[in-house]
Amino acid sequence: MLVQKLRLQRGWSQEQLAELSGLSARTIQRMESGSASSPESLKAIGSVFEIDWSKLKDSEMIPDQANSAATDEALALAYVRRVKGFYLHLGEFTLIMGGIFALNLYFTPSYLWSLWLFAFWVIGLVIHGLKTFDRIPILNGEWERRKVERRLGRPL
């Protein structure tokens, strides 16, 4: 599908395209699988790729290779929102775990049950951080693009 090709050419993940377009990641998945899309969804995707939304159904259309400044700004804003979300998560972790440790030490100082909660929350926080800062190489759009190009034997 053309939406997937446009997305992969730019090295974006489905989540990044969803953020830029204001659609859900599930909607992007449906569009890429060829399901019928509403005109509103097509208009949102068309505005992100700066093409006429009616051409999104045309599989023969050749997309423009240039990324615009507006798209770069939108990606930068989406990235900053993800980083902000991670920092909020880190702040919540710090405040809530501080309170839980205090309660644990006050009511049952002989058994530190709060360390179990701490360990599980740290695992979630680490995964969130790795995803936020694109440290998990198989979860980003660049990896998808490379795999598609390898499969095709040519660049997108």
Task: Please give the helix or strand (H or E) that residue 148 lies within, else none.
Answer: helix 141-152
Give the span between the Cα atoms of 91 and 95, in whole angstroms: 6
- Could you report the per-residue pLDDT of 27-78, keeping only the tens digit for each? 998 888 888 888 899 999 999 988 888 888 754 344 444 445 666 777 777 7
Where exactly are the structural domains of the chain?
A: 76-137
Higher pLDDT among residues 65 and 2, named by residue: 2
Give the span between the Cα atoms of 85 and 109, in whole angstroms: 33
Give the span between the Cα atoms of 118 and 115, in whole angstroms: 5
SS3 content of the chain, % helix, strand, coil (to 5): 70, 0, 30
Share the mean pLDDT of the chain: 85
Q: What 3-state class would DSSP assign to 68?
A: coil
pTM of the predicted protein model? 0.56
Range among 3-7, 49-53, 95-99, 137-141 rated most confident: 95-99
Least confident of 9-18, 34-43, 58-67, 118-127: 58-67
Q: Hey, what are 90's tokens?
A: 């880190």
Give the span between the Cα atoms of 144 and 142, in whole angstroms: 5
- Could you report the per-residue pLDDT of 128-149, keeping only the tens digit for each? 999 888 888 776 777 888 888 8
